[in-house]
Each structure stands twice: as C-alpha cells, then as structure tokens.
Structure 1
Amino acid sequence: MNSDRSTPSADAKSIAVRSIEFVAAGGREDFDAIIHPEALNHETKTEPPHTRVPGPASWHATALWLRQPFADLHFEIRNVVADGDLVAVEVTMSGRHVGLFLNFDESGAVAGAFPPTGRSFAVAQSHWVRIENGLVIEHWATRDDLGMAEQLGWLEPSPAYLTRMLWAKRRARKARPV
C-alpha cells in the first residue's frame, strides 16, 4: 500500500474512534470538531427526539442520554478497519446502570423505562462510520441490546422490577408528553 492511501485511512480511523470514545467522555466542542454539520446518525430511532437532528448536536445529545443512566460508561476499542471513506470499529461497551434509562418510539413517546439496577454490563458492538473531508458524515451500529438487557435484569424481570418499570414508564410519559 502506498503512503498516500495509508495516511487518509489512518486519519479516518482516528476520527471514527474518537467519535465513539467521545460518547463516553467528550464535550460538545469535541463533537463539533469531528462531526459534519449535516452528519446523520442512523441509530437515533429509539433515542429521545432531540437526538434525531443532523450534526454534532445529535452525537452530543446521544452522549448525554447514555451517560445519565450509565456510570463508568466506556468503549474498549477492539478492532478498526478502514476501506476508503468507510471505517468499521468493533468495541466492547461497558458501564453500570445507576439511573433511569428511557427509550422512545418513532413518535417520540416513551416506549420503555428501566429504573436503575446497579448492575454492570459489557456488550459487543460494531460501529460503521463514513468520513467525508475529515469529518464524520454518517454512522450505523450493530449492538447487542439483548445481551445488555439480560445482564441488567431488564429481561426476565422479577415481578418487583417489572412493577418498577411500569411505574417509571408512567411517570416518564407524564413528564415528557409528545
């Protein structure tokens, strides 16, 4: 491989990795530096409505949404592969469930509410990031949401936790009308 081709791939890999690591610990200015103003995150369909906008605001809003319920949020980078403007990043996402986690339906209404369990999780994810002119322009992900839900006790919940989930969902819907 010639050096002209390897340098852009190295830069693209670095940008893609930072876009993921910033979710755990980056500020708005970090996202502004690497996310294109018209960038599209294809993974916001179950996130709060304010994450479903183009550009750095979406990535920053997603980061804040995930940091609230998950302490010690971390993305361990496993593998990074680039082919032209597309970068694949394999990670293990981990954290501890310490706050209320909400997910949303397409209309923006609360679809699920998961009160804190105090449990830790570690799940595999693959992120696909397209880079344009040195900035992230698109993002897709494949996540082990089922594995995370099982580790956190959200699936096969005890009757007591199921009751807590239902009450939390009711309170969240009242607090966040569509």
Structure 2
Amino acid sequence: MAATAGEVHRRIIELYGAGRIDEGLALVDPGVIDHRGGSDGDHHGLAAWREKWKRALSGGTGFHDMSVTVEQNISTDDLSTNVYLSRGTHTASGRRYEVRGMDMIRVRDGRIVEHWAIRDSVAMRHQLGLDQ
C-alpha cells in the first residue's frame, strides 16, 4: 500500500532537513510540477527539484543555518498541507529571519506529483532590513 500524502510530506521534510537529497527525491515523481509562482513560474521535473534542493542546502541561496518546523498539518488521501515556521541566517548580513509559510503537495502512488508553496516574504524582507 502506498504511503498517505501526510506520511510522504512528513518524510520528505525529514530527509530534506537531514540533507539526504537522493532519498528525498525517491518520493518525488519524475513528472512533478513545482508551482513556484511569481517571476520564476512553474518548475517541471525531478532535475528542477534536485537543483532547488542542492542550491538551498549548499548555501547558494544566500542563506545558511536554515530549518523548517511544521506547526500544523492537514491531509486527505492525496493532498497534504503544512503550516510551517522557517528560520535561517542571511549569509552576507548575518541577520536572522523567522517567518511562517504554507506548502501543499499532491501525492499519487506514494510520490509527490505537484507542490505549491508560499511564505511571508514581506516579513522576511523586513527582518533582513531589505524593506527600507
């Protein structure tokens, strides 16, 4: 029996947090659509997901010491939504941030086929002193 959406969501966050990229990517469907929104648009496929993770985990995003704490999860058979607290440090300034976000995944046959995410970018920019 395939894992539920909530189980897949919990597991992929654990693996990402531990830097275990290959194990985490085993939970992502090769045809995944990562609905990024904004100027980035959607990202398609496993290679785009791998690149996103490698960039974030290597500090290529300009941040380090990042962590995610899931505060609440609501899930059905194929959908799982997390409210989470994201923390990290802006490498150049040394300033810390702590903001809430939400993400949702759609799971089919135990793998993520779609992903949506938003975070409080206004609060993050304010905490980093970038809104002045």
TM-score (norm 1): 0.64
2:65 paired with 1:75:
no
Change (3 A) 1:46 1:62: farther
Larger radius of gyration: 1
Change (3 A) 1:22 1:154: farther
> How far apart are the structure 1 equivalents of 2:7 and 2:127?
31
Which residue of 126, 130, 134 corresponds with 2:110?
Answer: 134
Superposed, which structure 2 residues align to 1:5-16 within 5 Å?
Answer: 11-16=4-9
- Greater share of strand residues, 1 or 2? 2
- Greater share of helix residues, 1 or 2? 1
Which residue of 85, 98, 115 corresponds with 1:92?
Answer: 85
In structure 2, the gaps of 5 or more residues are: none
> How far apart are the structure 1 equivalents of 2:87 and 2:39?
19
| Partner residue, 1:27 | 20
Say what the alpha-carbon RMSD is for the aligned residues: 2.4
Kept in 2, the 8 Å contact 1:23–1:62? The answer is: no
Residue identity in the other structure for 1:121: Y
| Partner residue, 1:151 | 127
Task: Say which structure, 1 or 2, has more relative contact order (CA 8 Å, 6+ apart).
Answer: 2
Matched-pair identity in %: 26
| CA deviation after TM superposition for structure 1 residue 12, in Å | 1.8
Which residue of 53, 77, 95 corresponds with 1:119?
Answer: 95
> How far apart are the structure 1 equivalents of 2:12 and 2:37?
15
- Partner secondary structure for residue 95 of structure 1: strand
> How far apart are the structure 1 equivalents of 2:39 and 2:11?
23
| Partner residue, 2:48 | 58
In structure 1, the gaps of 5 or more residues are: 1-6, 99-115, 157-178
